Amino acid sequence: MKRYLVIWSIFLLASCQHQASKEKALEYWDNNQFQLALNEICNAIELYPDSSSLYFLRMRIYEIMSRYDEELKDLDRIIQLNQNREEVMIAYYQRATVKSKLGLFKEALVDINYFISRQKVLNVDLTGAYINKASILYQLNNKDEAKYFYSKALFNATNEDKVLIYVGLSNLADNSQDALELLDKALKIDGNNALVLANRATIYLEQGDIEKAISDSKKSFYIDPYNASNNFNIGQIYAHHLNNPDSAMKYFERTIKLESQSTQSASAYINLAIMENQAGNPKKACQYAEKAVELIPNNDEFQYNYAHILSDMKKNKEAIDAISKAIAINPQEVEYYNMKGAILIEMLQFKDAVSIFQKCIEINPNFGAAYYNLGYIYEQLDNHEQSINFYNKAMLLGFDLQSTLVNLALQEIKVNKVSDACSHLERAYELGRMDVKPLIDKYRNYKTK
């Protein structure tokens, strides 16, 4: 992307139109006073709403401020004005980048394809465009095509480009060792690249090599403390490996501040949501979860966690909507059906819940929670034989043995299977359920019947 920003600068400085406003804005820019630069350009645009060069400068300010929604509108306006072919083509390229950051990958692919198909307008090297396209294809889970365009980008790649390519290929690697080898190649080119170190830290985290993950994360953070990925990685380390939630939340909040509109922040939002919910702050947790699913609505895990928080808040209808979205995205995950069934039980919609748990069993016949929940439903419906049947299956699968054994025994008592009930109560007692001792004593005399 840097090569195109250089071209934009040439266009901006070469234009004599509205020069005073632009020069003042650029002066603010050079002093990192981006809000003042933005104010200057916004005032100029009100006076000259058809000047594409002003939109170009404002778009760059929005980019540096991570205000991607506003940047996207300015890029749309530049393309609509169509005053300069080169500017329009660059706008298509940058719009693909912005749409990727906003999670609009299919739309981003259309824009980058348009740019590549008309490369003769700019007569520039397409290495950056191929890298951009490969990254978008990766997000769309088209791994073969992504590898092809990363490989194509290698032909004319500078060392800076090669670093990005190796990082991209590491995301597509078949295993973590291959990924690490690619990242090591990138580090041989640029040993102080924050992005590469951050990615390597992520792999070390996944491997459970916390010492190396911390080392790379700290190096990456020292090089670029304003990189969202660096902050997110450190947050993950504090949250999941060092048991320091306060520090974790600080780094997740920094991630969001740095990239508030980017899909990269969605994971930070959902982590904060889970942590706030665990801390007993469901309202704040819900706000964070809403932001996560707003940024990436097609992430099933985000929808699942959002549903969990809504369910804890007794917002069952909204929870059903969220978990149904998770199921639509990933219809083979039994835990999602299990949660939906549990919410339906809470709503006393037993018939619908039965269908959901039967779907769980259809997907995974060894999913003990579904049998347990069916046992509970038939218990509530006073169908004790059916309840015993399903609790027995849950017991055989070893699901939550203490609770399953006790519930099974209570149902057996209701149909006068006292001997079986006592055996199950005694087993539960041996596993640590001290509270069942009075029941064992009460029914001990019936055990031999």
Tens-place pLDDT, residues 254-264: 999 888 777 77
pLDDT at 26: 80
Look up residue 146 and give its two tokens: 């992504």
Range of the domain at 31: 1-124
Residues near 177 by beta carbon (within 8 Å), at least 6 away in sequence: none
pLDDT at 243: 85
Residues near 449 by beta carbon (within 8 Å), at least 6 away in sequence: 418, 419
Q: Are 41 and 57 in contact (CB under 8 A)?
A: yes
d(CA 202, CA 188): 19
pTM here?
Answer: 0.72
d(CA 179, CA 340): 37
Residues near 360 by beta carbon (within 8 Å), at least 6 away in sequence: 334, 337, 338, 341, 367, 369, 370
Inform me whether the pLDDT recorded for 278 exceeds 90: yes
Q: Per the domain annotation, does 296 fall within a domain?
A: no
| Helical (H) or strand (E) element with 108 | helix 105-117
Q: Are 299 and 325 in contact (CB under 8 A)?
A: no
End-to-end distance of the chain based on CA atoms, in angstroms? 81
Across the range 92-115, mean pLDDT stands at: 92
Q: Per the domain annotation, does 171 fall within a domain?
A: no
Q: Is the dihedral of CA 223, 259, 271, 278 positive or negative?
A: positive
Place of tokens 């299977």: 417
d(CA 393, CA 370): 10
Across the range 132-147, mean pLDDT stands at: 93
Q: Per the domain annotation, does 63 fall within a domain?
A: yes
Look up residue 393 and give its two tokens: 């299956």
Q: Per the domain annotation, does 105 fall within a domain?
A: yes
Tens-place pLDDT, residues 361-384: 999 999 999 999 999 999 999 999
Q: Where are the alpha helices (DSSP H) in 118-209?
A: 127-139, 143-153, 159-171, 176-189, 194-207
Q: What is the CATH number of the domain that holds 72?
A: 1.25.40.10
Percentage of residues in the chain with pLDDT exceeding 90? Answer: 63
d(CA 273, CA 231): 17
Categorize the per-residue pLDDT at 210 as very low, low, confident or very high, splitting at 50, 70 and 90. Answer: confident
CB atoms within 10 A of CB 169: 22
d(CA 35, CA 268): 25
Q: What angle do CA 27, 227, 39 make, to 5 degrees?
A: 30
Across the range 389-400, mean pLDDT stands at: 96
Q: Per the domain annotation, does 95 fall within a domain?
A: yes
Look up residue 358 and give its two tokens: 């039967």
Percentage of residues in the chain with pLDDT exceeding 70? Answer: 94
Q: What angle do CA 359, 362, 365 make, to 5 degrees?
A: 120
Nearest to 83 by CA among 119, 56, 111, 46: 56
Tens-place pLDDT, residues 23-75: 787 888 777 788 888 888 888 888 888 888 889 889 999 988 888 899 999 99
pLDDT at 15: 47
65-83 per-residue burial string, b: 16 or more CB within 10 A, e: under 16: bbbbebbbebbebbbebee
DSSP state of 446: G
Q: Per the domain annotation, does 395 fall within a domain?
A: no
Q: Per the domain annotation, does 19 fall within a domain?
A: yes
d(CA 382, CA 388): 11
Place of tokens 């690697």: 173
Total count of domains within the chain: 1
Place of tokens 């922040």: 265
Q: Per the domain annotation, does 342 fall within a domain?
A: no
Tens-place pLDDT, residues 84-102: 788 888 899 999 999 998 8
d(CA 99, CA 397): 47
Q: Are 54 and 48 in contact (CB under 8 A)?
A: yes
Look up residue 226 and give its two tokens: 């304003």
pLDDT at 121: 62
Q: Are 379 and 411 in contact (CB under 8 A)?
A: yes
